[in-house]
Amino acid sequence: MNLEISTIWFWIILGVTGIISGVVGYLFGKVNAGSDSDNSFQINLLEIENAKLKADLDTCKKRLSAAKPSKENVIDPPVPISKLAPTFHANEAKTAFGKSIKENDLKIVEGIGPKIEELFHKFDIKTWKALSETSADTCQEVLNSGGKRYRIHDPASWPMQAKMAYEGHWKQLAEWQEKHRAGKY
C-alpha cells in the first residue's frame, strides 16, 4: 500500500510541475512576442526616417550642384595672413629654453645632436618645417643611413617637435621635452 501511495504522489507532483511549467512557458512566450512586435514597429519607424533623410540629402545635393559656379569664373582668394609662414622670434625661444636658439637649428629637437643633424642635412631636411613634414619612417631611414649606432634612436616625436618649433610654440615644446627627457616616454 505504501508503494501505491508513493507512486500516486509521484504522478501528482509530476503533473502539477508540468502544468506550472507550461503556464510559465506560455507567459514567457507572450512577453517575448510582444517585444518582437515593438521591435519591428521601431524598425519600421527608423526605415521611414532613413528614407526621409535620404530624400533630404538628395535635395541638398541638387541645390548644391545648381549653386556651384563654373571653374572659369572662380578667382583664387588671396592667402590669408594666418596661412603665411610663422615668424621666428629668437627672444621667445630664449625665454622658454634659457639659451639662444638659431632659426631652423634641428638640434633643438630632443634626440637630435650635431651628427644626426648632419644626416638630415644630407637628405635635404634642413628646416623645422621640412622636418615637421617628414614621416617618422623617413626619419628612421635617415638614421639607418648613418649606421648601427644611429638606429637606436626613436624619431617618432621629432616631426611633432619640429612643428612646435616651426610654429613658435616654444613654451609648449620646452614643457614637452622636460616631460620626455632623453626620448623616454
82 pLDDT above the threshold of 70: no
pLDDT digits (tens, 9 = 90+) for 36-60: 666 777 787 788 888 878 888 888 8
Q: What's the pLDDT at 76? A: 66
Distance CA 185, CA 181 (A): 8
Q: pTM (2 decimals)?
A: 0.54
Mind listing the pLDDT tens digit for each residue in 127-178? 999 999 999 999 999 999 998 888 888 899 999 999 999 999 999 999 888 8
Is residue 131 within 8 A of residue 162, CB to CB? The reply is yes
Could you tell me if 123 and 143 are in contact, meaning their C-beta atoms sit under 8 angstroms apart? no
The predicted structure's pLDDT at residue 40: 74
Q: What is the amino acid identity at position 105? A: D
Nearest to 153 by CA among 109, 108, 112: 112
Mean per-residue pLDDT of the chain: 83
What does the DSSP 8-state code read for residue 148? G
- Residue 8: per-residue pLDDT: 87
Q: Is the pLDDT reported for residue 94 higher than 70?
A: yes
pLDDT score, position 58: 82
- Give CA torsion, residues 153, 136, 166, 97, to 10 deg: -20
- pLDDT for position 185: 45
